[in-house]
Structure 1
Amino acid sequence: MAQKIIIDTDPGIDDAMAIAYAIAHPDIELLALTTIFGNVRTHEATRNALALLDHWGSEADVAEGEAKPIAMPANEPSYLVHGLNGFGGVEIPVSRRKKHSLKAVDYIIDASKRHPGEIVLCAVGPATNLARLLERDPEIVSRLKGVVVMGGAVHCKGNVTPMAEANFWNDPHAADMVLGASWPLVLAPLDCTMPVLFTPDFMHALARESPTLGRPLADMAEFYARFYRSHLGLGGCVPHDVMAISWLTVPGAFRLQKGALGVLTDGPAIGQTIFQPGGTRSRATVFEGRPDHLVMVDTDPGLFMADYMMVMTRYAR
């Protein structure tokens, strides 16, 4: 039976890579995209989500989420990284479909009641919708099968400041709430995303072998890779958000560590992920009462990339 998932997303080029993989994978049933600010503004994320689903033939719902962080002013979107339209200037036809009548939080609550214990929520943008979800319905922690969050940097440096990863930096208060909740959560931080590089050769092969999905992604990746080349000296782009989906389908590609997590919510290190390994004790009272979660701390790039290519090239629609 296919795994039911909802992707909470701010599309975004790596978001598009993750959404395409979810659509293509035969063992995934994509119920919906819920949208959030980050790479673009929330209304732009909704537009992009609808456009991608239509372009790739998915009937999944799109429910619009929060427009600003829970306790701080919004940062500017990541247009420098993803382009002004979120897709590196690549034009995806605007959808004629409408967003769902329910807002994102209400949609997730409703879906979890219709499918208790069956849905995995994969969050690949700022955690604001998830924090509001916990506020609105604390019992959600027992109705979701799992939560996978792409965000943070545990044993490595950040990508928007030396300490902070972009998703957590964009709403650190929400991220701290989400990591402190007692639901079955797996964190996919920069530790597991940065070892993987989609090179131009890889993207060209993807476009050739999977034209429907791969061609627009390869075009987007040209813009994305220019950022990585100019700012980090890398010869390709990092598919951060795909990890949150791949954990469900190829978990053997990742090395795990267990422990309690938090996020700093003020000061010069705002957005920094803090971690106390499971089974250890310290004098840091911040971890008291916090549950241990699984953290993906490394990736086998060869296995991950082979799986991504295989899934995408087998997509027949």
Structure 2
Amino acid sequence: MKHKIIIDTDPGIDDAMAIAYAVAHPDLELVALTTIFGNVRTHEATRNALALLDHWGVAADVAEGEHAPVTMPANEPSYLVHGRNGFGEVEIPASSRSKHALDAVDYIIEATKRHPGEISICAVGPLTNLARLLERDPGVVSRVKSVIVMGGAVHRKGNVTPMAEANFWNDPDAADAVLAASWPLVLAPLDCTMPVVFTPDFMQALARENPTLGKPLAAMAEFYARFYRSHLGIGGCVPHDVMALSWLTVPGAFRLQKGALAVITEGPAIGQTLFQPAGTQSRARCFDGRPNHMVMVDTDPEMFMADYMMVMTRHAG
């Protein structure tokens, strides 16, 4: 049975890698992309989402999301990491299609009412759309099949500050609200993304095996890898956002830990993920009344990369 998914996204190079995986995987049915700011601004994310789907011949909907965080001013987009167009300056032809008439939040509400208990939301950008979703329709927590969030850093340091990962840093209030909700949530933080590096050789092989999907990704990855090399000394790039989808398709690649989660929403540690393992106690009141969620704390890189290449290769065939 296919997993019906909505990807909440700010495309973004690793977002494109995740969308390509969703397009290629026979067990994933891409219902829609909902867009958010982060790597680019929201209107640019919508443009990029439509362009990618058209370029790859996919008819999924694109619904535009929030343009600013829940309370704080918006940070500057991550153009340094993803390029001014979000795709590492690789040009993807603009789409002639229009975004959906509903905004992202109403789209998710309607989709989960049409398919109760069937839709998984893979959130790979700041969580503003999901926080607004909880405000607008609290009952959605019982209609989604699962929510998989790429964000945060539990046992690792952050990637935009020593404490904070980018998606949570871009809207910490939203992240805290989403982690406080009692829905079936799995967190894919930097703990599980950073062990995986797509090397230049891997990306070139991907382009050879699946030119349609792989060539543009390999071209984007050159820009992405330059950032990782210059800032982190890594010989390749990290496909963060793919993890939110791989949880559905190859869960055996990940090691899990269960516990309650919170996010610091102000001060020098803004955006930091706090974690209290299930079965333990502390005097931190921020965990009071919070559900335990599953956290992907490590990854088998070889299994993950073999799965990604296999899925993309089979699609090409």
| TM-score, normalization by structure 1 | 1.00
Question: Equivalent residue for 2:230?
Answer: 230
Amino acid at match of 2:282: S
Distance, in Å, in 1 between the alignment partners of 2:316 and 2:280 is 49
Question: Equivalent residue for 2:191?
Answer: 191
Q: Deviations over 1:83-117 (max 9, x none)?
A: 00000000000000000000000000000000000
Question: Equivalent residue for 1:218?
Answer: 218
Amino acid at match of 2:92: I
Question: Equivalent residue for 2:280?
Answer: 280
Question: Equivalent residue for 2:289?
Answer: 289
Q: Deviations over 1:59-84 (max 9, x none)?
A: 00000000000010000000000000
Question: Equivalent residue for 1:81?
Answer: 81
Question: Equivalent residue for 1:262?
Answer: 262
Q: How does 1:95-114 map to 2 (within 5 A)?
A: 95-114=95-114
Question: Equivalent residue for 2:139?
Answer: 139
Question: Equivalent residue for 1:252?
Answer: 252
Distance, in Å, in 1 between the alignment partners of 2:110 and 2:202 is 39
The offset of 1:304, in angstroms, is 0.0
Amino acid at match of 2:71: A
Distance, in Å, in 1 between the alignment partners of 2:85 and 2:143 is 35
Amino acid at match of 1:217: L
Question: Equivalent residue for 1:127?
Answer: 127
Distance, in Å, in 2 between the alignment partners of 1:149 and 1:190 is 11
The offset of 1:198, in angstroms, is 0.2
The offset of 1:184, in angstroms, is 0.2
Helix, strand or coil for the counterpart of 1:314?
Answer: helix
Q: Is the 8 A contact 2:116 2:144 kept in 1?
A: yes
Helix, strand or coil for the counterpart of 2:138?
Answer: coil
Helix, strand or coil for the counterpart of 1:44?
Answer: helix
Distance, in Å, in 1 between the alignment partners of 2:135 and 2:285 is 24
Distance, in Å, in 1 between the alignment partners of 2:68 and 2:285 is 30
Distance, in Å, in 2 between the alignment partners of 1:240 and 1:124 is 8
Q: Deviations over 1:146-185 (max 9, x none)?
A: 0000000000000000000000000000000000000000
Helix, strand or coil for the counterpart of 2:298?
Answer: strand
Question: Equivalent residue for 1:173?
Answer: 173
Helix, strand or coil for the counterpart of 1:139?
Answer: helix
Distance, in Å, in 2 between the alignment partners of 1:316 and 1:11 is 23
CA RMSD of aligned residues (A): 0.6
Distance, in Å, in 2 between the alignment partners of 1:42 and 1:223 is 21
Amino acid at match of 1:10: D
Q: Is the 8 A contact 2:180 2:261 kept in 1?
A: yes
Distance, in Å, in 1 between the alignment partners of 2:51 and 2:120 is 23
Q: Is the 8 A contact 2:209 2:316 kept in 1?
A: no
Helix, strand or coil for the counterpart of 1:315?
Answer: helix
Question: Equivalent residue for 2:52?
Answer: 52
The offset of 1:127, in angstroms, is 0.2
Distance, in Å, in 2 between the alignment partners of 1:47 and 1:266 is 32
Distance, in Å, in 2 between the alignment partners of 1:13 and 1:31 is 20
Q: Is the 8 A contact 2:193 2:299 kept in 1?
A: yes
Distance, in Å, in 1 between the alignment partners of 2:113 and 2:141 is 12
Helix, strand or coil for the counterpart of 1:296?
Answer: strand
Amino acid at match of 1:64: E
Helix, strand or coil for the counterpart of 1:279?
Answer: coil
Distance, in Å, in 1 between the alignment partners of 2:253 and 2:141 is 26
**Structure 1 vs Structure 2: percent identity of aligned residues?**
83
Q: How does 1:36-75 map to 2 (within 5 A)?
A: 36-75=36-75
Question: Equivalent residue for 2:156?
Answer: 156
Distance, in Å, in 2 between the alignment partners of 1:312 and 1:99 is 27
Helix, strand or coil for the counterpart of 1:295?
Answer: strand
Displacement over 2 Å in runs of 4+: none
Amino acid at match of 2:168: F
Distance, in Å, in 2 between the alignment partners of 1:309 and 1:146 is 25
Amino acid at match of 1:305: M
Q: What are the ranges of 5 or more consecutive residues in structure 1 without an aligned counterpart?
A: none
Distance, in Å, in 2 between the alignment partners of 1:43 and 1:314 is 33
| TM-score, normalization by structure 2 | 1.00
Question: Equivalent residue for 2:300?
Answer: 300
The offset of 1:316, in angstroms, is 3.6
